[in-house]
């Protein structure tokens, strides 16, 4: 293949599944990519192209003759076509638009008009719609005619004369139905749908919840305008999970993957929270400075400082993470707060006691009985306080309309750290003054 053997290349590229080929091309130089793609039939080339990363698509598209690009766009799935088109430079958009057939042009205009992150931007217009008054036999004719270009032929959408969605029927049901039956007798009329302006997470959740192959998307008048298929829903779910995981470490969502993002994009996604957390930590510092006299009186206390405030923060970030994820998957609801708070009191008390028992002996060795008691009592208190704060923060954020995922582990840790300092030295001052007073 490296010997520029055209025939071998042609065999290779036509045997590879489209996603694998896309990955293979991603590793090659732009020139070789063009060459490899040219060995594919236009339909297969359009499929492979759909699997490329957006930035690779753009780079390849911009180097193509415009007629070739127009042909490629014509053969791509309507949703992938719109995504690619949206990326092109404005003058290229106008030029390519002129080369497209009327149908593709209108379709592209419609799909390109929806805002990023909505059902409209995610949907495909390659679905099978059949008038509800057709017979099963007529429906099969329409399916056969549209099968080559449709994204799925397994869910068939029944529409009325106004184009409004009135029911769905699966291909499985059609195969079992009598040929002369009318679709309106066979179809299910309770249809799960979403409107074009629905958020893409909601669309993905609906598809997962109802185990749908595809979710029909309607406009405000109830007319069917597109479908979102399960594979696009899986991609959205993965993207959302990645964003949630990144937010959990106070990284703001990246538009692209880590490897392909620019250095500045990665810097930007990380710097804001890091600087904010620096200022959050100033409170811990101020707390420590405030207790300088206590520290001077008992320097052994400093040994346990990172450990105690760290433990509160860790327990809190555990609690926050469990709640944030529970809210994201819908397993935890707002009204569960009170019940979960009660459970958390017990869990955190058990955690705090376990950790106090683990650390008290070391306290006794380094500073005697009073230090052991101070350290143990502080541990129980900071773990309970940290856990309850970590549990409640995501609920609070959602209540005021923020994304609960903003309660990232570092934010929770920083907030609890500052309180932990006060709790620690507060308890220490009280306990250490007590024997001094007698």
- Looking at residues 96 to 125 of the shown chain, list those that interact with a copy of itself (rule: CB under 8 A): none
- Element (DSSP H or E) covering residue 165: strand 165-170
State in angstroms the smallest separation of the CB of 179 from a copy of itself: 13
Compute how many residues bind a copy of itself; rule: CB under 8 A: 106
Hey, is 194 helix, strand or coil?
A: strand
State in angstroms the smallest separation of the CB of 79 from a copy of itself: 13
Taking Cα atoms as reference points, which of 45, 195, 186, 42 lies closest to residue 120? 195
Contact 276, 348 (CB under 8 A): no
* Residue 79: C-alpha distances to residues 76, 226, 232, 342, 397 (Å): 8, 9, 10, 47, 34
11 binds a copy of itself (CB under 8 A): no
State in angstroms the smallest separation of the CB of 411 from a copy of itself: 10
Residues of span 241-260 touching a copy of itself by CB under 8 A: 241-242, 244-246, 248-251, 257-259
Among 24, 39, 154, 341, binds a copy of itself (CB under 8 A): 154
Angle ∠(98,152,44) on CA atoms, nearest 5: 55
Residues of span 363-422 touching a copy of itself by CB under 8 A: 383, 409-410, 413-414, 417, 421
270 binds a copy of itself (CB under 8 A): yes
Distance CA 365, CA 377 (A): 16
59 binds a copy of itself (CB under 8 A): no
Residues of span 172-191 touching a copy of itself by CB under 8 A: 172, 175-176, 190
Taking Cα atoms as reference points, which of 299, 297, 166 lies closest to residue 224? 166
Q: In this chain, which stretch among 81-89, 159-167, 238-246, 422-430 interacts with a copy of itself, using CB under 8 A? A: 238-246
Residues of span 215-234 touching a copy of itself by CB under 8 A: 230-231, 233-234
Among 6, 117, 285, 368, binds a copy of itself (CB under 8 A): 285
Residues of span 300-359 touching a copy of itself by CB under 8 A: 302-307, 309-311, 313-315, 317-318, 320-326, 329, 331-332, 336, 339-340, 343, 346-347, 350-351, 354-355, 358-359
Name the pairing type of β-strands 214-218 and 155-159: unpaired
CA contacts within 13 A on the Cβ side of 62 = 13
Residue placing its CB nearer to a copy of itself in the complex, 112 or 305: 305
Taking Cα atoms as reference points, which of 188, 228, 192 lies closest to residue 79? 228
Residues of span 192-211 touching a copy of itself by CB under 8 A: 192, 208-211
State in angstroms the smallest separation of the CB of 321 from a copy of itself: 4
Q: What is the DSSP letter of 114?
A: S
| 26's tokens | 């991603």
State in angstroms the smallest separation of the CB of 272 from a copy of itself: 10
Please report the beta strands in 172-331, taking only residues with DSSP state E, as ranges in sequence order: 194-195, 214-218, 224-229
149 binds a copy of itself (CB under 8 A): no
| C-alpha gyration radius of the chain | 30
């Amino acid at each position: 293949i490296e010997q520029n053997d055209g025939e071998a290349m042609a065999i290779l590229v036509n045997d590879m599944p489209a996603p694998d080929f896309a990955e293979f091309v991603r590793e090659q130089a732009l020139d070789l990519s063009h060459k490899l793609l040219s060995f594919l039939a236009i339909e297969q080339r359009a499929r492979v192209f759909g699997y490329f990363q957006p930035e690779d698509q753009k780079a390849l598209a911009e180097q193509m003759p415009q007629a070739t690009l127009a042909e490629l766009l014509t053969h791509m799935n309507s949703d992938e076509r719109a995504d690619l088109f949206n990326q092109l430079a404005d003058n290229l958009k106008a030029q390519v638009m002129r080369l497209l057939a009327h149908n593709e042009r209108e379709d592209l205009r419609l799909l390109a008009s929806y805002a990023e992150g909505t059902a409209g931007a995610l949907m495909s217009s390659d679905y099978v719609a059949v008038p509800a008054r057709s017979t099963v036999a007529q429906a099969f004719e329409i399916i056969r005619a549209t099968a080559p270009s449709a994204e799925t032929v397994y869910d068939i959408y029944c529409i009325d004369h106004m184009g409004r969605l009135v029911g769905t029927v699966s291909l499985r049901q059609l195969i079992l139905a009598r040929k002369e039956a009318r679709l309106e007798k066979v179809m299910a009329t309770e249809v799960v749908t979403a409107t074009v302006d629905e958020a893409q997470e909601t669309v993905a959740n609906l598809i997962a919840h109802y185990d749908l192959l595809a979710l029909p998307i309607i406009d405000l008048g109830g007319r069917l305008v597109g479908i979102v298929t399960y594979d696009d829903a899986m991609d959205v779910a993965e993207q959302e999970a990645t964003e949630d995981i990144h937010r959990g470490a106070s990284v703001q969502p990246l538009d692209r993957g880590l490897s392909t993002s620019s250095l500045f994009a990665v810097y930007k996604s990380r710097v804001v929270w890091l600087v904010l957390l620096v200022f959050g930590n100033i409170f811990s510092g101020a707390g420590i400075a405030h207790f300088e006299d206590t520290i001077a009186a008992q320097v052994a206390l400093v040994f346990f400082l990172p450990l105690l405030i760290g433990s509160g923060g860790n327990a809190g970030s555990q609690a926050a993470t469990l709640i944030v994820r529970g809210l994201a998957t819908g397993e935890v609801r707002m009204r569960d707060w009170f019940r979960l708070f009660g459970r958390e009191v017990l869990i955190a008390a058990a955690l705090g006691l376990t950790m106090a028992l683990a650390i008290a002996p070391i306290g006794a060795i380094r500073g005697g009985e009073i230090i052991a008691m101070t350290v143990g009592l502080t541990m129980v208190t900071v773990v309970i306080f940290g856990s309850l704060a970590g549990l409640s923060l995501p609920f609070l954020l959602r209540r005021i309309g923020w994304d609960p995922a903003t309660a990232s582990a570092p934010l929770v840790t920083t907030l609890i750290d500052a309180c932990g300092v006060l709790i620690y030295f507060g308890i220490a001052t009280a306990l250490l003054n007590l024997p001094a007073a007698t």
